[in-house]
């Protein structure tokens, strides 16, 4: 998946526009040292100001051109990088959406989001920083080799020697650097997910006055992150120190050779300036390749972590063609489900017909919500069978089934930081108003709450909105998970009265509400 994204990037016209600008900038960068050095020699030997003005004007024009080119490149590159990073994040999230429900539950979602966001940005930034630089620095190095060979072979020899030193240093630290980077990234993501969880849990912390406990959880997580961070920083700074030592030796050697040649008259000061500038550019190019190797090791960690997500197989329900528009019967035969080796649902049998109102009844934790998740294909049975009009649930196109055949009213949303207007954006507003009036005698609820956040609604209002959303889909099967748990007496009575009018549908409720249980035609006891 990630490789395919990079292949798509290569077909983007913006990428080649950036490449052309980058090449122009590099050409100007190679040309400027020659202008500067020549200008120094002109200053020493000039007999009039005319030549000085000419060289200064040339230098000004090149400088202005370079500034304009750099501006255009930086703006275009930032826009392009952010756009592509967002696309990669969206593709990753879409892949996660299509994983099995149990696979998603393996992740701490705050940690997962932090990981996806961080790794996507690191990968795309690395790609953008190096897609052009690898090519341009290669051509720059070849051009400088030719120039230094023609001007001063000693400088070329020094470049080769120090390149070997860089290679040896990198080979020694490569494996350790990669391992430390992986541990640090994982610890960082875990720590920020803990921060997110504790901040999201502010209401419970305030109610229970559990500030000390919250701080302890944060501190424990930070200590683990701090240990891995310090370990990574040590190896990273050790790498930078080695780089600094080699660079310093490189420059000192350059000054010594150049200084001796200027004193002996075998090189002018201007030529020394040119050669020393090219020598510095050569050093930068060599350092780039070894810094590239270092950042590649760090980016490879992000690539592996993102690829791990993409390598997890999705549920390809769309390949199955069994689409059901009308349902007469649901059969449960010996339905069993385990969670973490604990038997939650044990040998449930039931036949549910069109027109039935079925109550799933049991104590908290006995698997009522779990059974609803099984009925909509989020969880898979450990044993037993479910038949929808004699079609096995294993043969259903679940995406189509959830879109057109079954509607679900959950107890609440997992994430409530969404506006009501966003929540109903893809729904038929007329149908929502219709069912608000039919069920709760309130046809203005949507209009009155569109500008509110879902989390700002009362618990009862949230329940009503979730119930009405399910009803507005007008599917042959409707599942309700504790629909009246947060409603006031009058609202719950209106809801129960409305259930009696759904005689052409299959209605299944997990509930503790005696009013719903009384009007039920069948019960499933857990």
Tens of pLDDT, residues 255-306: 788 788 778 877 778 777 777 777 777 777 777 877 787 778 778 888 888 8
CA 458 vs. chain centroid, Å, equals: 32
Q: Which residues, in sequence order, are CB contacts of 410 under 8 Å at separation 6+?
A: 466, 481
CA 176 vs. chain centroid, Å, equals: 26
Q: How confident is the model at residue 321 (pLDDT cuts 50, 70, 90)?
A: low
**What whole-number distance in Å separates Cα of residue 393 and Cα of residue 320?**
11
pLDDT in tens, 225-236: 899 889 888 888
Helices and strands in the chain, H and E counts: 17, 9
DSSP, collapsed to helix, strand or coil, labels residue 190 as helix
Q: How many CB atoms lie within 10 A of CB 63?
A: 13
DSSP, collapsed to helix, strand or coil, labels residue 354 as coil
With helix as H, strand as E and coil as C, how does 226-289 read?
HHHHHHHHHHHHHHHHHHHHHHHHHHHHHHHHHHHHHHCCCCCHHHHHHHHHHHHHHHHHHHHH
**What whole-number distance in Å separates Cα of residue 244 and Cα of residue 238?**
10
Q: Is the pLDDT of residue 335 over 90?
A: yes
**What whole-number distance in Å separates Cα of residue 466 and Cα of residue 498?**
15
**What whole-number distance in Å separates Cα of residue 443 and Cα of residue 495?**
15
pLDDT in tens, 52-83: 777 778 878 888 888 888 888 888 888 888 88
What share of the chain in percent tops pLDDT 70? Answer: 93
Q: How confident is the model at residue 523 (pLDDT cuts 50, 70, 90)?
A: very high
**CA geometry: angle at 177 spanning 230 and 128, to 5°?**
105
Strands lying side by side in the sheet with 522-525? 406-409, 477-481, 506-510, 357-361, 522-525
What are the respective helix, strand and coil percentages of the chain, to the nearest 5? Answer: 70, 10, 20
Write the DSSP symbol of residue 367.
S
26, 36, 38, 244 from 54: Cα distances, Å: 23, 13, 12, 39
Q: How many CB atoms lie within 10 A of CB 168?
A: 11
Question: Domains in the chain, ordered, with CATH?
Answer: 2-311 (1.20.1560.10), 319-525 (3.40.50.300)
pLDDT score, position 11? 61
Task: Read off φ and ψ for residue 299, nearest 5 degrees.
Answer: -70, -35
Q: What is the pTM of this model?
A: 0.73
255, 398, 444 from 404: Cα distances, Å: 77, 10, 27
């Amino acid at each position: 998946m990630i490789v395919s994204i990079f292949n798509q990037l290569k077909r983007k016209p913006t990428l080649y526009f950036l490449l052309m600008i980058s090449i122009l900038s590099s050409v100007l960068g190679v040309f400027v040292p020659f202008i500067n050095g020549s200008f120094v020699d002109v200053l020493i030997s000039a007999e009039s100001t005319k030549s000085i003005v000419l060289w200064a004007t040339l230098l000004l024009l090149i400088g202005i051109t370079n500034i304009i080119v750099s501006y255009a490149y930086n703006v275009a590159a930032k826009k392009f990088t952010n756009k592509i990073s967002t696309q990669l994040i969206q593709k990753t999230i879409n892949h996660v959406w299509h994983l099995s429900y149990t696979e998603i539950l393996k992740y701490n979602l705050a940690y997962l989001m932090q990981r996806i966001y961080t790794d996507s940005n690191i990968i795309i930034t690395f790609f953008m920083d190096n897609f052009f630089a690898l090519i341009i620095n290669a051509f720059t190095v070849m051009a400088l080799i030719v120039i230094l060979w023609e001007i001063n072979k000693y400088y070329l020899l020094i470049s080769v020697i120090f390149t070997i030193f860089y290679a040896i240093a990198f080979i020694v630290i490569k494996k350790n650097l990669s391992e430390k980077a992986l541990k640090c990234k994982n610890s960082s993501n875990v720590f920020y997910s803990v921060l997110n969880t504790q901040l999201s849990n502010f209401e419970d912390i305030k109610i229970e006055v559990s500030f000390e406990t919250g701080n302890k959880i944060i501190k424990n997580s930070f200590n683990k992150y701090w240990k891995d961070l310090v370990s990574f920083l040590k190896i990273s700074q050790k790498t930078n120190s080695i780089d600094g030592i080699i660079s310093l030796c490189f420059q000192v050697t350059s000054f010594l050779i150049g200084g001796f040649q200027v004193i002996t008259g075998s090189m002018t000061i201007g030529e020394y300036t040119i050669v020393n500038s090219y020598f510095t550019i050569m050093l930068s190019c060599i350092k780039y390749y070894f810094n590239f190797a270092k950042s590649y090791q760090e980016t490879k960690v992000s690539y592996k972590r993102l690829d791990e997500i993409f390598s997890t197989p999705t549920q390809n329900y769309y390949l199955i063609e069994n689409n059901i528009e009308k349902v007469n019967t649901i059969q449960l035969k010996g339905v069993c489900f385990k969670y973490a080796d604990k038997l939650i649902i044990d040998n449930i049998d039931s036949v549910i017909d069109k027109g039935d109102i079925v109550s799933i009844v049991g104590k908290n934790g006995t698997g009522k919500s779990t059974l609803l998740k099984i009925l909509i294909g989020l969880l898979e049975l450990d044993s037993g069978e479910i038949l929808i009009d004699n079609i096995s649930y294993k043969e259903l196109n679940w995406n189509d089934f959830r879109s057109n055949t079954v509607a679900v009213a959950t107890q609440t949303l997992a994430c409530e930081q969404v506006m009501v207007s966003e929540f109903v954006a893809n729904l038929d507003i007329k149908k929502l108003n219709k069912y608000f009036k039919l069920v709760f005698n309130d046809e203005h609820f949507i209009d009155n709450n569109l500008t509110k956040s879902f989390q700002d609604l009362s618990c009862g209002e949230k329940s009503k909105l979730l119930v009405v959303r399910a009803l507005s889909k007008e599917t042959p099967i409707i599942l309700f998970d504790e629909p009246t748990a947060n409603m006031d007496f009058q609202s719950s009575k209106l809801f129960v009265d409305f259930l009696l009018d759904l005689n052409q549908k299959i209605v299944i409720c997990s509930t503790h509400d005696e009013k719903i249980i009384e009007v039920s035609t069948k019960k499933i006891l857990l």
